[in-house]
Structure 1
Amino acid sequence: MSEISSVYNELRLEQQLCDALIRVDNEEFQAHKIILCNCSSYFRALFTHWSSPNSRVFEIHNVTPDMMKIIIEFAYNNSVSVTNENVQELFIAADRFNVTGITQACCDFLEEHLTPENCIGIWWFTDVYYYPEMKHKAFLFTLYHFEEVVSTSEDFLQLSVEELVKIIENDLLNVKQEKMVFEAILHWIAYAPEERTDYISLLLSNVRLALMSPTYITDNVSNNEVVKASEECRPILLKTMQAMLDLRTKIFSDSVFFNPLARPRLPPAILLAIGGWSGGNPTNGIEAYDVRADRWVNVTNNEEGPRAYHGAAFLNGSVYCVGGFDSVEQFSNVHKFDLSMQTWQEVAPMHSSRCYVSVTVMDGCIYAMGGFDGHDRLETAERYQPNTNQWTVIAPMHEKRSDASCTTLHNKVYICGGFNGNECLSTAECYNPETDEWTVISSMGSRRSGIGVITYGDRVFAVGGFNGTSRLRTAEAYNPHTNTWHSVPSMLGTRSNFGIAVIDDRLFVVGGFNGFTTTFDVECYDVEAGEWSAVRDMEISRSALSCCVVHGFPDMAEYAAPRYQMQFSDEEEEEAAH
Structure 2
Amino acid sequence: MADASLDLECTDVTEGNYSEERAQKVATSRDAVVNGINVSNPQTPEFDAVTVFTDTSLAHDLLLVLHEHRKLEQLTDVTLNSGDLNISCHRSVLAASSTFFRAMFLDDLRESHEKVIHLHDVKPDMLEKIIDYLYLGCIEIRLSFAGDLLATACFLQYPKLVAECESFLKLHLNPSNCLGIHELADLYNRQHLMEDSWDYILANFMNVSLSKDFLSIKKEKLIHLISDKRLRVNREEIVLNACLKWVDFEPCRTKDFISVLKCVKLAFVDTAILNDVLMSSVLFINVEECRDLIKDSLNLQEMMVKEKQIRQPRSSMLQDVTVVVGGMTSDRKWQKEVIFYHEECWYFLTKLPFDHTDYTVTSIKEDMYIIGGFCEDHVCNYVWRYSFANNKWKQICGLQNARCNHASVSLNGKIYVVAGEDDANSLTNIELYDPGFESWSVIGDINPINSNLSLAAMQNKLYIVGPLTFTRVCSLQVFDLETLECTVILTSGMTRSMFPVVTLQHNLFLLGNCKMKEVMILDPDTMQMVASEPMRYKRNCPTATIVNGKIVVTGGELQQHVNKVESFDPLLNKWVGETPMPTGLCFHGCVAGLKYIGPPFSWIKLSTQL
TM-score range, shorter chain: 0.5 to 0.7
Indicate the residue corresponding to 1:183 in structure 2.
Answer: 241
Q: 1:158 maps to what in 2?
A: 216
SS of alignment partner, residue 64 of structure 1:
helix
Contact 2:236 2:266 in 1 (8 A): yes
How far apart are the structure 1 equivalents of 2:394 and 2:117?
A: 63
**Contact 1:416 1:426 survives alignment (8 Å):** no
Partner of 1:9: 59
One-letter code of the match for 1:265? R
Deviations 1:272-322 (A, max 9, x none): 6299994489x9x9x997x77779999x9xxxxxxx858778xxxxx5999
Cα offset, 1:230, TM superposition: 3.0
1:120 aligns with 2:216: no
SS across alignment from 1:476:
strand
Between the aligned partners of 1:266 and 1:22, the Cα distance in structure 2 is 59
Q: Amino acid of the residue matched to residue 445 of structure 1?
A: Y
Change (3 A) 1:45 1:478: closer
Structure-2 change in CA distance of 1:83 and 1:367 (3 Å) = farther
1:205/1:485 CA distance change after superposition, 3 Å: closer
Show CA shifts across 1:236-278 (max 9, x none): 2333244334433449x69x6xxxxxx5334488986299994
Q: CA deviation at 1:70?
A: 3.1
Specify the alignment match of 1:451 in structure 2: 543
* Superposition deviation, residue 91 in structure 1: 0.8
Q: Distance in 2 between matches of 1:444 and 1:15?
A: 74
| 1:193–1:33 Cα change, 3 Å | closer
Change (3 A) 1:403 1:112: farther
Counterpart-to-counterpart distance in 1, 2:229 and 2:107: 49
1:135 is matched with 194
User: Structure 2 CA distance, aligned partners of 1:204 and 1:225?
Assistant: 15
Whole-angstrom CA distance in 1 between matches of 2:492 and 2:165: 47
Cα 1:450–1:71 shift into 2, 3 Å: farther
The C-alpha deviation readout for 1:476-523, integer Å capped at 9, x for no partner, is 3468989665351417895758563375798xxxxxxxxxxxxxxxxx
Pairing 1:462–2:511 present? no
Residues 429 and 440, structure 1, Cα contact 8 Å, conserved in 2: yes
Q: Does 1:26 align with 2:84?
A: no
Q: Match of 1:535? A: none
1:240 maps to amino acid: S
Describe the shift of the 1:169–1:442 C-alpha distance in structure 2 as closer, same or farther (beyond 3 A).
Answer: closer
AA aligned opposite 2:500 = A
Following superposition, the deviation at residue 174 of structure 1 comes to 2.6
Pairing 1:392-431 to 2, within 5 Å after superposition: 403-406=499-502, 415=509, 417-420=511-514, 425-428=516-519
Name the SS of the counterpart of 1:500 in structure 2: strand
Aligned 8 A contact 1:404 1:451 in 2: yes
Q: Contact conserved, 1:71 with 1:94, CA < 8 A, in 2?
A: no
AA aligned to 2:133 is I
Contact 2:554 2:565 in 1 (8 A): yes
Which of 247, 263, 271 is residue 206 of structure 1 equivalent to? Answer: 263
Matching residue of 1:70: 133
Taking a change above 3 Å as real, the CA distance of residues 106 and 26 of structure 1, as seen in their structure-2 partners, is closer
> Aligned pair in 2 of structure 1 residues 469, 371: CA closer, same or farther (>3 Å)?
farther
Q: Counterpart of 2:565?
A: 475
**Alpha-carbon distance in structure 2 between the residues aligned to 1:93 and 1:59:** 16
* Map 1:118-517 → 2, pairs under 5 A: 118-132=177-191, 134-151=193-210, 153-190=211-248, 192=249, 194-195=251-252, 201-250=258-307, 264-267=313-316, 273=364, 278-279=371-372, 319=412, 328=428, 356=454, 371-372=465-466, 374=468, 376-377=473-474, 403-406=499-502, 415=509, 417-420=511-514, 425-428=516-519, 438=530, 441-449=533-541, 451-454=543-546, 461-464=552-555, 466-467=556-557, 474-477=564-567, 485-490=576-581, 496=587, 498=589, 500-501=591-592
Counterparts in 2 of 1:188 and 1:83: CA distance versus 1, 3 Å: same
Q: How many angstroms apart in 1 are the aligned matches of 2:498 and 2:78?
A: 72
Contact 1:371/1:377 (8 A) holds in 2: yes
RMSD: 6.0
Residue number in structure 2 paired with 1:345: none
Instruction: State the shift of 1:449 in Å.
Output: 3.5
- The 3 A distance-change label for structure 1 pair 146 and 450 is same
Secondary structure of the residue aligned to 2:157 is coil
How much has 1:147 moved relative to structure 2? Answer: 1.9
Name the CA shift for 1:84/1:437 in 2 (closer, same or farther; >3 Å).
farther
User: Cα gap change, 1:98/1:499 in structure 2, threshold over 3 Å: closer, same or farther?
Assistant: farther
Q: Note the C-alpha offset of 1:96.
A: 0.2
Answer yes or no: is 1:87 the counterpart of 2:146: yes
Contact kept? 2:567, 2:576, Cα under 8 Å: yes
Aligned 8 A contact 1:416 1:462 in 2 = no
Which residue of structure 2 lines up, in the alignment, with residue 567 of structure 1?
none
- Alignment deviations for residues 432-480 of structure 1 (CA, whole Å, 9 cap, x no partner): 9xxx995554543341436214465x9753224x438887665234689
Q: What TM-score results when the alignment is normalised by the length of structure 2?
A: 0.52
SS at match of 2:581: coil
Where in structure 1 are there 5+ consecutive unaligned residues? 257-262, 301-307, 314-318, 331-336, 338-354, 382-392, 507-524, 533-578
User: What SS class does the counterpart of residue 111 from structure 1 fall into?
Assistant: helix
Query: What stretches of structure 2 of length at least 5 have no aligned partner?
Result: 1-52, 70-74, 81-85, 321-362, 374-378, 398-405, 420-426, 435-452, 479-488
Measure, in 2, the Cα distance between the counterparts of 1:310 and 1:248: 33
1:309/1:325 contact within 8 Å kept: yes
Letter of the 1:64 partner, please give it.
L
Please give the per-residue CA displacement for 1:398-445, whole angstroms capped at 9, x wherever unaligned: 98787434576xx9989463444xxx723346899xxx9955545433
SS in 1 for 2:288: coil
Provide the TM-score with structure 1 as the length reference.
Answer: 0.54
Report the Cα distance in structure 1 between the residues aligned to 2:194 and 2:567, rounded to whole angstroms: 44
The AA in structure 2 aligned to 1:45 is A
> 1:89-123: CA deviations, max 9, x gaps?
32112210233343334334333433333221212
CA gap of 1:440–1:146, structure 2 versus 1, over 3 A, is: closer
**Structure label with greater radius of gyration:** 2
Q: Distance in 1 between matches of 2:314 and 2:521?
A: 39
| Cα pair 2:566 2:575 within 8 Å, conserved | no
The structure-2 alpha-carbon separation of the partners of 1:47 and 1:72, relative to structure 1 and needing over 3 Å to count, comes to: farther
Matches of 1:21 and 1:441 in 2, distance apart? Answer: 75
Partner SS state of residue 232, structure 1? helix
CA contact (8 A) 1:451 1:496 kept: yes
Structure 2: distance between partners of 1:90 and 1:429:
55
Residues of 2 paired with 1:467 and 1:174: CA distance?
Answer: 41
Amino acid at match of 1:475: V
Contact 1:419-1:449 within 8 A present in 2 as well:
no
TM-superposed CA distance for 1:204, in Å, is 3.0
Tell me what 2:359 maps to: none
What does residue 103 of structure 1 align with?
162
Aligned-partner Cα distance in 1 for 2:476–2:315:
42
